[in-house]
């Protein structure tokens, strides 16, 4: 009797056509249109978090999210229209027009009065009015073949004049008031004007308290995200090793304990101890997962091979970090020399230090990426150097900082970043990368990664929505989350689903890319573009309702000029002005970037007029980055 060795699970074979070759998650992420905006948002957030005390608190987050909510709703709708190849310069005016109209309809009849209708009639009427404006814009563009910016610019002036004229006619003022006098105001105010007062929702005892639940959920989300990415990067084993599970579980426990210790203490000895525990635990967890799930690299790791260009990048990167660190230490805040004083007052010390250090790290990471194409062992060496440099920088910053957010929170983030970079190099040196698609592993990896992201956002929601008794006693003022933020989130999710998962989304990309070609393959181009104009107007109606119920009054100039902010936010988010390319998520990130800039500048105590400089610089950089991302996307398809 003979026994047969079980065959390993069938896996997909490498494709013969290189255009069908497997693209890893990092490459797929890099060619997404919103990646530039996402990186920009992170940079701007870190910048204002570093220079202000309020920006990183819940009150600060509430402030810029409140601004970005109405801006984001319109930016998403405008982005959809831009992807479809058109513009709507009346998008700002429609918000004020619908807000004014709903107030005029519900005002009592009489001299300087209104129609006296309840909100149950007024709100649907204003929605119908908004949809009619969108339909008219779309129809005129299609029937007359005039550019959309000409048609919608005319609509803008019509709406602007109508707002001023009707406001004067019915109220003899440029403002209409009295929305809260409507008999059914309470019901509709719950829908368009409700708020969540964070201070009234205290979470102290349940499940160990808010912060403990927040930390656990965030840690679980991070583990799932990293594990999902690893599933997408490395080849699956046919026979798995149970010993790897034990190593991974022990490593996760150690890393979690180290992270908790880092954020709870603020001394050099404790930071060294907990930093080492966190790093060793995370490395052990990654290795354990690899031993359990992934194929080991066959043969040697290759010799240490480094091209002249790579060696030059490594040398220049290390030099930049060293020079930046020396400047940061020598030009200290207590320097009494004239140059030291000037550098301190103008912030050039921080700029020089940060600029040189970031440049050096970018050069090291670029060198590691180049070396990894030929020698994983060389890549591991460079990533190790990079990780050590970040650890040194973490302790330098901790030694120079006086604020707890730098000494504990930012310190922990830097140590975590150094650990992740080292793990990335180590895993690539130890295990075989994926070279072709594996549908099962792809599906599992995406599910795990998305679950991790969802848990991370859930943890953030826990921290933002619930307060603690300690916070209520120590932090002044109240934090109120308006319902407009919820509408912003839901609108972004819904628009993304429509754009990426429906036939109408495919039509939108098609008519924006090449309208005539889309018609030849059966796409209803005229109807698609008209619906896109109506979506913009419907979004304007929603923002108009949110404004009206927030203030119970609307001025005639509300929304005028904001159409340019909507377009800028969409462009910053990766949407091309020429159409056919972009995303709804990118537009929402662009709106958040602009809101952070608008609010971060006064938080820092600067003249608010500087926000225009920020908007111009952000727009220019966004176009440059988006063009580069677009070129990479076209080269990868």
Q: Which of the given ranges, 37-46, 129-138, 156-165, 599-608, has the highest pLDDT on average? A: 129-138
In whole angstroms, what is the distance from residue 86 CA to residue 534 CA?
12
Q: What is the pLDDT of residue 598?
A: 87
Which pLDDT band, with edges at 50, 70 and 90, does 7 fall under? Answer: very low
Contact 237, 294 (CB under 8 A): yes
Q: Is it the case that residue 476 has pLDDT exceeding 80?
A: no
Q: What is the pLDDT of residue 266?
A: 62
Q: What is the pLDDT of residue 503?
A: 93
Instruction: Provide the 3-class DSSP secondary structure of residue 213.
Output: helix
The verdict on 194 and 45 lying in the same domain is yes
The verdict on 477 and 410 lying in the same domain is no
Q: Is it the case that residue 190 has pLDDT exceeding 90?
A: yes
Cα 370 to Cα 52, 150, 406, 421: the distances in Å are: 37, 49, 32, 15
The verdict on 391 and 479 lying in the same domain is no
Does some domain include residue 424? no
Average pLDDT over residues 59-85: 93
- Which of 388, 414, 440 marks a domain boundary? 414
In whole angstroms, what is the distance from residue 324 CA to residue 390 CA?
13
Q: What is the pLDDT of residue 576?
A: 85
Average pLDDT over residues 246-250: 89
Q: Is it the case that residue 1 has pLDDT exceeding 70?
A: no
The verdict on 143 and 63 lying in the same domain is yes
Average pLDDT over residues 166-172: 79
The verdict on 410 and 537 lying in the same domain is no
Q: What is the pLDDT of residue 342?
A: 40
Sequence-ordered list of residues with C-beta below 8 angstroms from that of 383, at least 6 positions apart, any chain: 368, 421, 422, 424, 425, 426
- Which of 393, 414, 435 marks a domain boundary? 414
Within 13 Å and on the Cβ side, how many CA atoms surround 87? 22
The verdict on 487 and 367 lying in the same domain is no
* Nearest by Cα to 102 from 75, 124, 74, 71: 124
311, burial (CB in 10 Å: exposed 0-12, middle 13-18, buried 19+): middle
| Percentage with pLDDT > 70 across the chain | 87
Q: What is the domain count for the chain?
A: 2
Number of Cβ atoms within 10 Å of the Cβ of 306:
20
Does some domain include residue 94? yes
Contact 288, 248 (CB under 8 A): yes
Does some domain include residue 506? yes
| Percentage with pLDDT > 90 across the chain | 32
Which pLDDT band, with edges at 50, 70 and 90, does 18 fall under? Answer: very low
Within 13 Å and on the Cβ side, how many CA atoms surround 92? 20
Q: Is it the case that residue 123 has pLDDT exceeding 60?
A: yes
Which pLDDT band, with edges at 50, 70 and 90, does 14 fall under? Answer: very low
Q: Is it the case that residue 324 has pLDDT exceeding 70?
A: yes
Contact 376, 301 (CB under 8 A): yes
Q: Is it the case that residue 480 has pLDDT exceeding 50?
A: yes
In whole angstroms, what is the distance from residue 521 CA to residue 517 CA?
7
In whole angstroms, what is the distance from residue 68 CA to residue 625 CA?
22
Contact 225, 449 (CB under 8 A): yes
Number of Cβ atoms within 10 Å of the Cβ of 581:
20
Number of Cβ atoms within 10 Å of the Cβ of 216:
15
Which residue did the predictor score with more confidence, 105 or 305?
A: 105
Which residue did the predictor score with more confidence, 257 or 505?
A: 505
Contact 292, 245 (CB under 8 A): yes
Does some domain include residue 240? no
Which residue did the predictor score with more confidence, 406 or 513?
A: 513
In whole angstroms, what is the distance from residue 364 CA to residue 316 CA?
8
Sequence-ordered list of residues with C-beta below 8 angstroms from that of 257, at least 6 positions apart, any chain: 274, 277, 278, 281
The verdict on 410 and 476 lying in the same domain is no
The domain that holds 529 is classified in CATH as 1.10.3470
Q: What is the per-residue pLDDT across 191-219, written as a single tens digit (0 to 9) for each? A: 999 999 998 899 988 887 888 888 889 88
How far out from the chain centre does Cα 452 lie?
Answer: 15
Average pLDDT over residues 515-523: 88
Does some domain include residue 324? yes
The verdict on 485 and 364 lying in the same domain is no
Average pLDDT over residues 491-510: 94
Instruction: Provide the 3-class DSSP secondary structure of residue 608.
Output: coil
Lowest mean per-residue pLDDT among 16-25, 299-308, 347-356, 554-563: 16-25
Which pLDDT band, with edges at 50, 70 and 90, does 559 fall under? Answer: confident
Q: Which of the given ranges, 179-183, 265-269, 272-276, has the highest pLDDT on average? A: 179-183
Contact 69, 485 (CB under 8 A): yes
Average pLDDT over residues 140-157: 92
The verdict on 89 and 178 lying in the same domain is yes
Q: What is the per-residue pLDDT across 436-449, written as a single tens digit (0 to 9) for each? A: 777 888 888 889 99
Mean pLDDT for the chain? Answer: 83
383, burial (CB in 10 Å: exposed 0-12, middle 13-18, buried 19+): buried
Does some domain include residue 160? yes
Which residue did the predictor score with more confidence, 332 or 148?
A: 148
358, burial (CB in 10 Å: exposed 0-12, middle 13-18, buried 19+): middle
The verdict on 185 and 55 lying in the same domain is yes
In whole angstroms, what is the distance from residue 97 CA to residue 544 CA?
7
What backbone torsions phi and psi does residue 250 show, to the nearest 5 degrees?
-60, -40
The verdict on 385 and 484 lying in the same domain is no
* Nearest by Cα to 90 from 589, 567, 526, 491: 567
Does some domain include residue 257? no
Q: What is the pLDDT of residue 93?
A: 93
Does some domain include residue 380? yes
Average pLDDT over residues 97-126: 83
In whole angstroms, what is the distance from residue 168 CA to residue 157 CA?
17
Average pLDDT over residues 140-150: 91
In whole angstroms, what is the distance from residue 388 CA to residue 410 CA?
16
Contact 270, 261 (CB under 8 A): yes
State the Cα angle at 186 between 184 and 190, rounded to 5°.
125
In whole angstroms, what is the distance from residue 111 CA to residue 99 CA?
21
Q: Quote the domain boundaries for residue 95.
A: 29-200+472-636
Which pLDDT band, with edges at 50, 70 and 90, does 22 fall under? Answer: low
Sign for the pseudo-dihedral over CA of 302, 304, 307, 309: positive
Sign for the pseudo-dihedral over CA of 492, 497, 503, 509: positive
In whole angstroms, what is the distance from residue 228 CA to residue 441 CA?
9
In whole angstroms, what is the distance from residue 162 CA to residue 98 CA?
11
Average pLDDT over residues 511-533: 91
Average pLDDT over residues 314-323: 88
What backbone torsions phi and psi does residue 107 show, to the nearest 5 degrees?
-65, 150
Q: What is the per-residue pLDDT across 344-384, written as a single tens digit (0 to 9) for each? A: 444 556 677 778 888 888 888 888 888 776 778 888 888 99
The verdict on 67 and 175 lying in the same domain is yes
Q: Is it the case that residue 337 has pLDDT exceeding 60?
A: no
Cα 174 to Cα 123, 158, 551, 557: the distances in Å are: 21, 16, 15, 8
């Amino acid at each position: 009797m003979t026994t047969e060795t079980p065959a390993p699970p069938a896996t997909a074979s490498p494709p013969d056509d290189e255009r069908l070759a497997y693209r890893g998650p990092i490459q797929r992420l890099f060619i997404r249109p919103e990646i530039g905006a996402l990186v920009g948002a992170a940079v701007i957030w870190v910048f204002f978090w570093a220079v202000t005390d309020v920006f990183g608190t819940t009150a600060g987050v509430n402030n810029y999210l409140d601004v970005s909510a109405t801006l984001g709703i319109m930016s998403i709708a405008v982005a959809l229209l831009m992807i479809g190849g058109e513009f709507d310069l009346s998008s700002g005016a429609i918000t004020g027009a619908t807000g004014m109209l709903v107030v005029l309809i519900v005002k009592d009849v009489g001299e300087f009065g209104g129609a006296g209708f309840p909100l149950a009639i007024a709100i649907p009427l204003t929605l119908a009015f908004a949809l009619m404006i969108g339909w008219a814009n779309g129809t005129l563009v299609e029937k007359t073949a005039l550019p959309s910016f000409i048609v919608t610019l005319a609509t803008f002036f019509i709406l602007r004049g109508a707002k001023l004229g009707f406001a004067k006619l019915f109220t003899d003022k440029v403002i209409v008031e009295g929305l809260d006098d409507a008999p059914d105001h309470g019901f509709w105010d719950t829908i368009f004007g409700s708020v969540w007062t964070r201070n009234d929702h205290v979470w102290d005892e349940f499940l160990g308290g808010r912060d403990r639940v927040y930390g656990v959920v965030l840690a679980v989300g991070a583990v799932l995200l990293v594990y999902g990415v690893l599933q997408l990067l490395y080849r699956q084993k046919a026979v798995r090793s149970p010993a790897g599970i034990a190593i991974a579980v022990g490593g996760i426990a150690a890393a979690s304990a180290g992270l908790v210790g880092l954020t709870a203490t603020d001394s050099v000895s404790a930071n060294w101890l907990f930093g080492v525990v966190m790093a060793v635990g995370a490395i052990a967890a990654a290795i354990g997962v690899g031993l359990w799930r992934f194929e080991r690299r066959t043969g040697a790791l290759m010799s240490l091979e480094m091209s002249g260009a790579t060696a030059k990048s490594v040398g220049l990167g290390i030099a930049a970090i060293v020079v930046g660190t020396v400047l940061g230490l020598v030009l200290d805040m207590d320097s009494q020399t004239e140059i030291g004083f000037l550098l301190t007052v103008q912030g050039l010390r921080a700029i020089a230090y940060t600029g040189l250090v970031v440049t050096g790290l970018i050069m090291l990471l670029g060198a590691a990426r180049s070396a990894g194409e030929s020698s994983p062992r060389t890549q591991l060496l460079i990533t190790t150097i990079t990780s050590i440099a970040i650890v040194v920088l973490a302790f330098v910053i901790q030694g120079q900082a006086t604020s707890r957010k730098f000494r504990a929170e930012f310190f922990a983030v830097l140590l975590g970043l150094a650990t992740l970079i080292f793990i990335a190099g180590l895993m690539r040196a130890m295990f075989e990368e994926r070279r072709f698609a594996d549908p099962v592993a792809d599906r599992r990896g995406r599910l795990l990664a998305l679950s991790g992201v969802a848990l991370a956002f859930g943890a953030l929601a826990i921290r933002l929505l619930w307060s603690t008794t300690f916070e209520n006693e120590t932090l002044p003022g109240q934090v109120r989350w308006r319902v407009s933020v919820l509408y912003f989130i839901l609108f972004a999710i819904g628009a993304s689903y429509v754009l990426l998962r429906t036939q109408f989304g495919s039509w939108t990309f098609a008519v924006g890319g090449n309208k005539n070609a889309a018609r030849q393959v059966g796409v209803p181009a005229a109807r698609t573009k008209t619906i896109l104009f109506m979506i913009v107007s419907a979004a304007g109606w929603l923002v108009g309702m949110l404004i009206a119920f927030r203030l119970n009054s609307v001025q005639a100039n509300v929304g005028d000029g904001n159409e340019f902010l909507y377009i800028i936010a969409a462009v910053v988010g990766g949407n091309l002005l020429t159409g056919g390319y972009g995303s709804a998520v990118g537009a929402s990130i662009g709106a958040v970037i602009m809101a952070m800039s608008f609010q971060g500048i006064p938080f820092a105590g600067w003249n608010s007029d500087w926000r225009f400089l920020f908007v111009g610089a952000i727009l220019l950089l966004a176009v440059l980055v988006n063009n580069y991302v677009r070129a990479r996307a076209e080269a990868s398809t």
